[in-house]
Amino acid sequence: MGMMELFLIAVGLSMDAFAVSVCKGLSVSKTNVRHALCVGAYFGGFQALMPLLGFLLGRQFESLITSVDHWIAFVLLAIIGGNMIRESFKEEEEELNASFAFRIMLPLALATSIDALAMGVTFAFLRVDIVPAVLFIGVITFLLSAVGLKAGNVFGVKYKARAELFGGVVLVLMGLKILLEHLGILG
């Protein structure tokens, strides 16, 4: 997996965290560096931790499913991406909470990183060098979450749905690329 592919996956995975950060930005009257560091650390940290856990889990079952690993990667990415695309069209109001307390941020970080756990399983099948990959994903998510916080504070929720749609499309296309490469259709 090349650097550009990993970058696209990192951006795609971070779109949920970006969207939630936008909502957090809406909930505070004024953002500051401490808020950005808090949001970035929670979301970036969990986006790095979850693929590592998924990778370790995937390695345990690798020998049992190597003949269909490309299909598993495709299906997981299609499900994750499809869910993000579906969420981007929902019109529901999200509850805005201005608190950055542990009890508020932990569930948000967990919820936005579940798809990264599945991505980690995919990384195990693709034999990705996991430490640089998860660090890269964590840094990208950290940065985009901090930007999302400020964007939400300045621009409002108008870009949240577009971010989720973009992230979902990127993940579905990456899954399709993996499948087509393994089937020999793409060189």
| Distance (Å, whole) CA 114 – CA 46 | 9
The reported pLDDT for the residue numbered 49 is 97
The reported pLDDT for the residue numbered 26 is 79
Domains of the chain (ranges; CATH) run 3-90+98-182 (1.20.1250)
- Each of the 187 residues of the chain gets a pLDDT tens digit; together they read 789 999 999 998 998 899 889 888 877 888 999 999 999 999 999 999 999 999 999 888 877 766 777 787 788 778 877 877 887 787 765 555 678 889 889 988 998 888 888 889 889 988 899 999 999 999 999 999 999 999 888 876 566 677 777 777 877 887 788 788 878 887 6
| Distance (Å, whole) CA 183 – CA 109 | 36
Crossing angle of helices 69-88 and 160-182, in 10° steps, is: 160
| Distance (Å, whole) CA 29 – CA 123 | 40
User: Taking CA 52 as the corner, what is the angle to CA 48 and CA 54, rounded to the nearest 5 degrees?
Assistant: 120
Residue whose entry in the numeric block shows the structure tokens 């579905």: 172
The reported pLDDT for the residue numbered 96 is 57
Provide the 8-state DSSP code for 150.
Answer: H
The reported pLDDT for the residue numbered 81 is 76
The reported pLDDT for the residue numbered 64 is 75
Q: How far is CA 114 from CA 34, 144, 149, in A?
A: 25, 17, 20
Residue 9 CB-density burial (10 A; 0-12 exposed, 13-18 middle, 19+ buried): buried
